[in-house]
A and B are shown apart, each in its own frame.
Chain A
Amino acid sequence: MAEKIRVVHYINQFFAGIGGEEKGASPLEFCEGPKGPGVGITQTIGAEAEIVRTIWCGDNLINQEQDRILAEIEKLIRDAKPGLVIAGPAFNAGRYGLACGMVAKLCSEKLSIPVIIGMYPENPAVEIFRKAAYIYPCAETAAGMRKDLPGFARLALKLGQKGKLDPAIVDGYIPRGYRYNEYVQKNAAARSIEMLGRRLAGDNPMTEIPLRGFEMVAPARPVTDLKGATIAIVTGGGMVPRGNPDKLKQAFADAFGIYSIAGLAELPAGDFKGIHGGYDSTWVDEDPDRVVPLDALRAMEKEGKFKKLLNEYFSLCGIGTNVAMSKKLGAEVAEQLKRREVSAAIYTST
């Protein structure tokens, strides 16, 4: 008979039978064999896997003394030589969820041991640790234990046997955010018709592409003294000096250019050209002020509407740039604007 997979199970003071919230400072302890929910897990997968050690710690203690506790947990896990680590289920308990996440991160990043956590999908720890471990979706409270434990255990076993899991939509864990191109059985048209068919039959099929929200940033305080302000122009419309001297890319930007407009009352056609690959640049080539409104701003500067128009403008082509790069470029532009003591900036995009 094949050897059973060795498993280490991490739980907290409550599931170890010590006490609830009030025992949050209870020390790190362990025992050989299963304890608490580990007994239920063993009932499901005991033929192929064995919980050789159970570790628990007070939720408050581990959150407050992360480094020390995790170092000790590391040692306890190493000594047990497991092929799999299970943490939780933590349901919607915030600090317990964080603790499970920390243990999981340790296992996946330092120890290279497959690890799986059980948590309620809206537990705040999910967002923080979803990349570090597989997370099996559980009920909100421990009342769901009986229902969730067998599925959790079976998926844990599969992970222990294979080292990694199939796509989230197949194995049912919370998608960690990784997405890879694969050739699947049916083409996109057929899958769309099927998904629609299920909706029309009253089902709620899972989407293949989750919508990701954007981070909201609080607006900066408005300008109070416009007459004393320095204004700058930033464009995502890809207007650059003829010849594109900085060789900016027409899409998937990884850099921006800073170009002088000193002494210019408008951007002269011919000297400046649109290189953005996502819109027909004919109109802005004809009149570059249609995307970099220098003429209007220069006129207002002369009238004293504001103190000064910055003698340079910033430019790149805003298409296909992913969010991480946009943030990086945006921060660099912001840095440059601050150095030039710009009070406010007008952005244009296409």
Chain B
Amino acid sequence: MQKEAERAGIPTALITAIPSVAKSVGVSRIITGGGIPYPVGNPSLPRDREIEFRRRLVEKALEAICTEVTGPTVFDVSLA
């Protein structure tokens, strides 16, 4: 689905727990997320730390959208 947005000229970034699938499908900007049932979060963190983690994931996604890429690129965000 994302590739159609890219084709229409809208840059996108994907936050996902399975970057390998996203890479083989050909998604351009991939942010490794928290986990399959919680891609933009992590319930094992205390609530305020989880919100901080979520913010870092979204910031990385915005950073990726502003970055030139030539093919599927993974942007990592550490939990700590």
Across the two chains, which residue of chain A brings its CB closest to B55? A296
CB of A320 to closest CB in B, whole Å = 13
Contact code string A188-221 (vs B, CB < 8 Å = 1, else 0): 0000000000000000000000000011111111
Q: Evaluate contact between A296 and B69: CB separation under 8 angstroms.
A: no
Question: What residues on B are CB-neighbors of A174 within 8 Å?
Answer: none
A345 within 8 A of B: yes
Contact code string A135-169 (vs B, CB < 8 Å = 1, else 0): 00000000000000000000000000000000000
Tally B residues with Cβ within 8 Å of A: 48
In the bound assembly, the distance between CA atoms of A219 and B15 in angstroms comes to: 16
Q: Within residues 1 to 47 of chain B, which ones have a CB less than 8 A from any CB in chain A?
A: 1-18, 22, 24-26, 28-29, 33-34, 36-41, 43
Q: Evaluate contact between B9 and A327: CB separation under 8 angstroms.
A: no
Across the two chains, which residue of chain A brings its CB closest to B69? A219
Q: Within residues 287 to 320 of chain A, which ones have a CB less than 8 A from any CB in chain B?
A: 287, 289-293, 295-297, 299-300, 305-306, 318
A348 within 8 A of B: yes
Q: Evaluate contact between B34 and A217: CB separation under 8 angstroms.
A: no
Across the two chains, which residue of chain B brings its CB closest to A314? B1
Question: What residues on A are CB-neighbors of B51 within 8 Å?
Answer: 295-296
Q: Evaluate contact between B6 and A217: CB separation under 8 angstroms.
A: yes
Q: Evaluate contact between A330 and B4: CB separation under 8 angstroms.
A: yes
Q: Evaluate contact between A348 and B66: CB separation under 8 angstroms.
A: no
Across the two chains, which residue of chain A brings its CB closest to B17? A350
Contacts A289-B40, A330-B2 known; A347 to B14 CB distance under 8 Å? Answer: yes
CB of A312 to closest CB in B, whole Å = 15
Q: Evaluate contact between B10 and A334: CB separation under 8 angstroms.
A: yes
Contacts A283-B41, A344-B65, A346-B58 known; A217 to B11 CB distance under 8 Å? Answer: no
Q: Evaluate contact between A219 and B28: CB separation under 8 angstroms.
A: yes
In the bound assembly, the distance between CA atoms of A215 and B3 in angstroms comes to: 9
Contacts A291-B38, A333-B4, A343-B10 known; A297 to B66 CB distance under 8 Å? Answer: no
A338 within 8 A of B: yes
Q: Evaluate contact between B37 and A280: CB separation under 8 angstroms.
A: yes
Q: Evaluate contact between B39 and A291: CB separation under 8 angstroms.
A: yes
Select the residue from B8, B18, B62 with max chain A CB neighbours within 10 A: B62
Question: What residues on A are CB-neighbors of B38 within 8 Å?
Answer: 283-284, 290-291
Question: What residues on A are CB-neighbors of B66 within 8 Å?
Answer: 222-224, 226
CB of A290 to closest CB in B, whole Å = 3
Q: Evaluate contact between B16 and A349: CB separation under 8 angstroms.
A: yes
Contacts A219-B69, A226-B66 known; A337 to B15 CB distance under 8 Å? Answer: no
Contacts A214-B24, A350-B17 known; A220 to B10 CB distance under 8 Å? Answer: yes
A39 within 8 A of B: no
Contacts A296-B54, A329-B1, A331-B4 known; A348 to B39 CB distance under 8 Å? Answer: yes
B74 within 8 A of A: no
CB of A200 to closest CB in B, whole Å = 28
Select the residue from B11, B28, B58 with max chain A CB neighbours within 10 A: B58
CB of A324 to closest CB in B, whole Å = 12
Across the two chains, which residue of chain B brings its CB closest to A326? B1
A237 within 8 A of B: yes
Q: Within residues 56 to 80 of chain B, which ones have a CB less than 8 A from any CB in chain A?
A: 57-59, 61-62, 65-71
In the bound assembly, the distance between CA atoms of A159 and B74 in angstroms comes to: 50
* A-B contact list, 30 entries, CB within 8 Å: A214-B24, A219-B69, A220-B5, A220-B28, A226-B65, A236-B1, A279-B37, A281-B37, A283-B37, A283-B38, A289-B40, A290-B34, A291-B40, A293-B54, A299-B55, A300-B55, A327-B1, A330-B1, A330-B4, A330-B5, A331-B8, A333-B1, A334-B8, A337-B8, A342-B10, A344-B10, A346-B15, A346-B61, A348-B33, A349-B22
Given contacts A215-B3, A289-B40, 6 further A-B contacts (CB under 8 A): A214-B25, A234-B12, A290-B38, A291-B41, A348-B16, A349-B15
* 7 closest A-B pairs by CB: A330-B4, A330-B1, A290-B41, A219-B28, A334-B8, A217-B3, A290-B38
